[in-house]
């Protein structure tokens, strides 16, 4: 009897599972069928393909390399960000604090470019792919959503899908993105929050839907977690939009339902961002040095051909490399195709006049701020003070905000204005097949011209795999110890994700790296290894007994040197110091790593 009951229950469970699987399959079939009919689906697919083309040859090395010029990229420590945020959240810890790096300090990450929003989005992918692959997936999706979000915004403002597509190309694939990705500034390549936050901000101000308010608060919170500079620019942009909307429709903007929506927006931001962030930020803000980043943009750099384009503006590359900040901060070419379309929108278009005024104002304001404190033309710097000079001493800007990065919102604003121009051009052509064909030809020319002018490939890549199997030795050692990296640069953060042990020293962004290196001033030997600077050595740094005592007090069991670090002189210098002065001998060595065991 019991066997019969078990068999019956088993059959019921099997039937239930089959029905459930059938429902899931049916759901995805319907979803796929509807998606294929959707214009937006094909636009999204178009941006994915364009992102793969622009980042080529990344797709060929998707599991082994990341975008970045290997000799000075910050890219590898963004892989550490992905790893650490997941580790912290799954241990129910605040990700803005860590003791895994700069041991024995409790490290405050509030001013590090931690990109928490990016890392949280990456967590589901981390269960299935390596960190390198996850980073590249997020990178492609970030570029894709930058374009797609701009498409949705312009489609909302103009009701024109083609105009949205052109705007998406201009913003997502601007030279600004590629110059910073090549420098490893991955945080400045995650721009998708800007169009999405702006879209729902407009909807929140113009429609009476609570969901728009929540979405606007969510995207602004993600921007704050991803990068405070981008969040700062976005906050100014949203404030300008709010002020103009207030001027255009004062009574509606101060109605009771709208006031409640503003409160909800602030509440979402406080809950998702300020609560986890404010305490570490407040604790650390007064500890770092506050020095303004003094650099000016060369006025000519906005109007030159894209210096990263191998066919058009490569002769400009050597020139901007010589400017303060190099090509990563001075690739500011706005693009003649984009400027012509934006100018056309400004002069000739009467509809969307409110939005046109808003984005024209934003384009000008952010362009003026991007010029820096003084006007520079070539090697000549005038004494005339520009708008940035008056705000550079503000608390947030005094921690190293680079003025040229304000150009980001100018690109965004010009992209929106260009969309208005395309919408106007589209309206000139009738619905007949002949005129639609003419417009299609014009559209292909515009897409081709903008895409070619912004082309910055092929991308330079930083290879991180294959890597040393010696890191597995550290990982499998179950003892209570720390690891001291020597001559690794930003790659050291990625190596830590491999062996998963506490690290003495580290490599973090902004100004906190220098702050925490100061913790090692009283540790002979460790001090100069952590700084990667043997010119600052003192007598005690060559005292073997004192150095080994420092190693012991910091629980250092392993020291490793990255043989493939681009700074070959530092690699050889570190090796000579450890072997000739301290008397250590390599425990293991391969073509990637020299491993020392204390």
Q: Residue ranges per domain, the chain?
A: 47-454, 470-597
Q: Are 484 and 527 in contact (CB under 8 A)?
A: no
- The CA angle 299-300-302, to the nearest 5 degrees, is 80
Please state, in angstroms and rounded to a whole number, the distance separating the CA atoms of residues 301 and 332. Answer: 6
Q: Is the peptide bond before 211 cis (omega within 30 degrees of 0)?
A: no
Predicted confidence (pLDDT) per residue in 224-246, tens digit = 999 888 998 999 999 999 999 88
Q: Which residues pair with 561 in a beta bridge?
A: 486, 594
For 164, phi and psi rounded to 5 degrees?
-65, -40
Residue length, the chain? 598
In this prediction, residues 8-15 reach a mean pLDDT of: 67
The owner of tokens 């947030």 is 396
Please state, in angstroms and rounded to a whole number, the distance separating the CA atoms of residues 153 and 168. Answer: 9
Dmax (CA) of the chain: 98
pTM of whole model > 0.85? yes
For 100, phi and psi rounded to 5 degrees?
-85, -15
The model's confidence at residue 248, banded by pLDDT at 50, 70 and 90, is confident
> Which tokens belong to 15?
């039937």
To which H or E segment does residue 232 belong?
Answer: helix 228-248
In this prediction, residues 159-171 reach a mean pLDDT of: 93
Q: Which DSSP string corresponds to 345-391?
A: HHHH--TTHHHHHHHHHHHHHHHHHHT-SEEEETTEEEEEEPHHHHH
Question: Taking 60 as the threshold, does the pLDDT of residue 184 lie above it?
Answer: yes
Residue 122 is predicted with a pLDDT of 94
SS3 labels along 81-92: HHHHHHHHHHCC
Q: Are 557 and 563 in contact (CB under 8 A)?
A: no
Q: Is the peptide bond before 458 cis (omega within 30 degrees of 0)?
A: yes
The model's confidence at residue 5, banded by pLDDT at 50, 70 and 90, is low
Question: Taking 60 as the threshold, does the pLDDT of residue 209 lie above it?
Answer: yes
Residue 137 is predicted with a pLDDT of 96
Question: Taking 90 as the threshold, does the pLDDT of residue 510 lie above it?
Answer: no
Question: Taking 70 as the threshold, does the pLDDT of residue 36 lie above it?
Answer: no
DSSP code at position 255? S
Q: Which residues contact 150 (CB under 8 A, 6 or more apart)?
A: 164, 167, 168, 170, 171, 172, 195, 412, 415, 416
Q: Which DSSP string corresponds to 39-101?
A: HHHHHHHHHHHHHHHHTTTGGGGTTTEEES-TTT--HHHHHHHHHHHHHHHHTT--TTEESSS
Predicted confidence (pLDDT) per residue in 547-578, tens digit = 899 999 999 999 999 888 766 678 888 888 88
Predicted confidence (pLDDT) per residue in 320-329, tens digit = 887 877 778 8
Is 39 exposed, middle or buried (CB count within 10 Å of its CB: 0-12, 13-18, 19+)?
exposed
Question: Taking 80 as the threshold, does the pLDDT of residue 52 lie above it?
Answer: yes
Q: Comparing C-alpha atoms, which of 367, 406, 341, 416 is closest to residue 151? A: 416
The model's confidence at residue 19, banded by pLDDT at 50, 70 and 90, is low
DSSP code at position 563? T
Is 479 exposed, middle or buried (CB count within 10 Å of its CB: 0-12, 13-18, 19+)?
exposed
Q: Which residues contact 278 (CB under 8 A, 6 or more apart)?
A: none
The owner of tokens 């909807």 is 203
Residue 123 is predicted with a pLDDT of 94
**What share of residues in the chain are helix, strand, coil (percent, to 5)?**
65, 5, 30
Residue 406 is predicted with a pLDDT of 92
The owner of tokens 């070419």 is 333
Residue 35 is predicted with a pLDDT of 52
Positive or negative: CA dihedral 95, 403, 341, 183: negative
In this prediction, residues 584-588 reach a mean pLDDT of: 90
Predicted confidence (pLDDT) per residue in 308-321, tens digit = 888 887 788 888 88
The model's confidence at residue 8, banded by pLDDT at 50, 70 and 90, is low
């Amino acid at each position: 009897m019991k066997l019969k009951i078990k068999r019956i229950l088993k059959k019921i469970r099997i039937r239930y599972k089959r029905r459930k699987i059938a429902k899931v399959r049916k759901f995805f079939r319907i979803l796929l069928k509807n998606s294929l009919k959707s214009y937006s689906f094909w636009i999204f697919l178009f941006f994915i393909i364009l992102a793969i083309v622009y980042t080529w040859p990344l797709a060929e090395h998707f599991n082994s390399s990341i975008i970045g010029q290997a000799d000075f990229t910050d890219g590898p420590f963004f892989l550490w960000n992905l790893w650490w945020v997941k580790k912290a959240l799954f241990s129910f810890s605040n990700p803005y604090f860590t003791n895994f790096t700069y041991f024995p300090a409790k490290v405050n990450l509030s001013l590090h470019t931690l990109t928490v929003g990016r890392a949280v989005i990456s967590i589901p992918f981390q269960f299935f792919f390596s960190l390198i692959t996850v980073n590249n997936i997020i990178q492609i999706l970030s570029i894709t959503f930058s374009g797609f979000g701009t498409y949705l915004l312009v489609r909302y403002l103009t009701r024109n899908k083609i105009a949205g597509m052109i705007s998406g190309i201009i913003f997502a694939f601007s030279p600004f993105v590629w110059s910073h990705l090549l420098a490893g500034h991955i945080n400045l390549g995650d721009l998708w929050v800007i169009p999405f936050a702006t879209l729902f901000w407009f909807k929140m101000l113009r429609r009476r839907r609570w969901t728009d308010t929540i979405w606007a608060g969510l995207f602004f919170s993600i921007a704050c977690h991803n990068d405070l500079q981008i969040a700062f620019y976005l906050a100014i942009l949203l404030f300008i939009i709010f002020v103009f909307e207030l001027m255009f429709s004062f009574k509606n903007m101060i109605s009771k339902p709208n006031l409640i929506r503003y409160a909800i927006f602030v509440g979402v931001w406080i809950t998702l961002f300020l609560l986890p962030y404010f305490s570490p930020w407040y604790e650390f803000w007064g500890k770092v040095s506050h020095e303004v980043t003094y650099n000016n943009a060369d006025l000519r750099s906005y109007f030159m051909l894209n210096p990263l384009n191998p066919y058009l503006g490569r002769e400009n590359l050597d020139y901007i490399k010589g400017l303060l900040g190099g090509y990563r901060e001075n690739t500011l070419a706005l693009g003649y195709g984009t400027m012509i379309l934006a100018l056309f929108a400004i002069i000739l278009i009467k509809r969307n006049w409110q939005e046109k005024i808003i984005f024209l104002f934003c384009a000008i304001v952010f362009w003026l701020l991007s010029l820096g404190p003084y006007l520079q033309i070539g090697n000549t710097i005038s004494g005339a003070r520009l708008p940035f000079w008056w705000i550079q001493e503000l608390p947030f800007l005094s921690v190293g905000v680079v003025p040229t990065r304000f150009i980001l919102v100018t690109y965004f604003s010009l992209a929106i204005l260009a969309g208005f121009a395309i919408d106007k051009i589209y309206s000139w052509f009738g619905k007949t097949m002949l005129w639609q064909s003419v417009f299609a030809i014009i559209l292909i020319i515009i897409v081709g011209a903008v895409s070619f002018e912004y082309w910055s490939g092929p991308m330079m890549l930083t290879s991180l795999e294959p890597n040393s199997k010696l890191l597995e030795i550290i990982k499998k050692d179950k003892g209570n110890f720390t690891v001291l990296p020597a001559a690794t640069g930003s790659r050291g953060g990625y190596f830590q994700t491999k062996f998963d042990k506490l690290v003495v020293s580290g490599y973090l962004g902004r100004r906190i790296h220098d702050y925490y290196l100061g913790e090692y001033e009283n540790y002979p030997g460790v001090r100069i290894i952590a700084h990667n600077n043997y010119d600052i050595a003192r007598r005690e740094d060559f005292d073997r007994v004192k150095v080994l005592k420092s190693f012991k007090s910091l629980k250092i069991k392993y020291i490793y040197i990255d043989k493939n670090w681009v700074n070959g002189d530092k690699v050889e210098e570190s090796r000579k110091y450890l072997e000739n002065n301290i008397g250590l001998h390599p425990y293991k060595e391969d073509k990637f790593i020299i491993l020392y065991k204390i």
